[in-house]
């Protein structure tokens, strides 16, 4: 089993990052002193689970973490700053600070540097998350030592539940649209008015009716979904919004 570092201070490390085409040094004091920080670490930028689930969910839940006293969310990986910068652009992870632990010093300092030479990775981080208050590790969620790349406990939802089991999570909202649709524009304006950060799926004319029909049984757009619930079109969204306000 990996050793627990709960109750200990984070290692004293200086990270070398590239910002605005200039080299910059960032210390652990800069990142942790006087702050409540969530850290999650993963084997590598651009790898499947890291890109599809681990990082995106922390980015999505960032408002909920902030509402519950978290000042910053850090993603630490044993990659160089150029790779981490490009991954940040690819992921559009504006709510996350990506930290390049290029030499693995931070990761080794928390006892989670592992050898992935069999994959051609060399030394990398084991997947984990931790809550750090003013530089002291309060809680760690370390993935079990199993073959492969387990992803069971270091996820964003587990960390948020530890901080506050009753924390309100952002609603997941998606809307099917088409270009030039006035009803779509009206529905999007209402979603914005309601404070929803929605995901828009614009559909091309050639396949729109087939896609919408297969998913909703309807033929027109917009079509809106909230937290897995099918709401319907613009008119149904207005009715749904009135019911929410009245509740």
- The CA–CA distances, whole Å, from 81 to 96, 98, 127, 138 equal 15, 9, 19, 27
| Helix, strand and coil percent figures for the chain, each rounded to 5 | 35, 25, 40
In three-state form (DSSP H/G/I as H, E/B as E, the rest C), the secondary structure along 66-120 is HHCCCCEEEEEECCCHHHHHHHHHHHCCCCCEEEECCCCHHHHHCCCEEECHHHC
Task: Let me know the angle formed at the C-alpha of 136 by 72 and 78, rounded to the nearest 5 degrees.
Answer: 60
The catalytically annotated residue of 50, 75, 181, 184 is 50
Catalytic residue list contains 50? yes
Contacts of 144 (CB under 8 A, 6+ apart): 150, 152, 153
Name the residue among 31, 172, 92 with its Cα closest to residue 10: 31
Contact 35, 72 (CB under 8 A): yes
Residue 247 and residue 242: Cα distance in Å, rounded? 9
Helix H or strand E encompassing 160: helix 156-163
Token pair 């990986």 in the structure block, residue: 77
Q: Which residues are catalytic?
A: 50
């Amino acid at each position: 089993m990996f050793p627990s570092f709960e109750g200990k201070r984070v290692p004293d490390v200086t990270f070398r990052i590239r910002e605005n085409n200039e080299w910059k040094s960032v210390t652990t004091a800069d990142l942790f002193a006087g702050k409540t920080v969530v850290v999650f670490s993963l084997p590598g930028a651009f790898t499947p689970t890291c890109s599809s689930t681990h990082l995106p969910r922390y980015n999505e839940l960032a408002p909920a973490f902030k509402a519950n006293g978290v000042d910053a969310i850090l993603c630490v990986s044993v990659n160089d700053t150029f790779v981490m910068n490009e991954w940040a652009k690819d992921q559009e992870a504006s709510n996350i600070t990506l930290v390049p632990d290029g030499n693995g010093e931070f990761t080794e300092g928390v006892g989670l540097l592992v050898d992935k030479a069999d994959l051609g990775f060399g030394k990398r981080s084991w997947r984990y998350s931790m809550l750090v208050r003013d530089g002291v590790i309060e809680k760690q969620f370390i993935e079990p030592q199993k073959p492969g790349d387990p992803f069971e406990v270091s996820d964003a939802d587990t960390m948020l539940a530890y901080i506050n089991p009753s924390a309100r999570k952002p609603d997941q909202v998606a809307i099917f649209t088409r270009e030039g649709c006035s009803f779509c524009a009206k529905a999007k304006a209402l979603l914005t008015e309601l404070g929803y950060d929605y995901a828009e799926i614009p559909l091309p004319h050639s396949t729109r009716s087939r896609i919408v029909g297969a998913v909703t049984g309807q033929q027109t757009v917009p079509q809106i979904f909230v937290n897995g619930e099918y709401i319907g079109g613009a008119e149904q969204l207005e009715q749904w919004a009135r019911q929410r306000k009245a509740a």
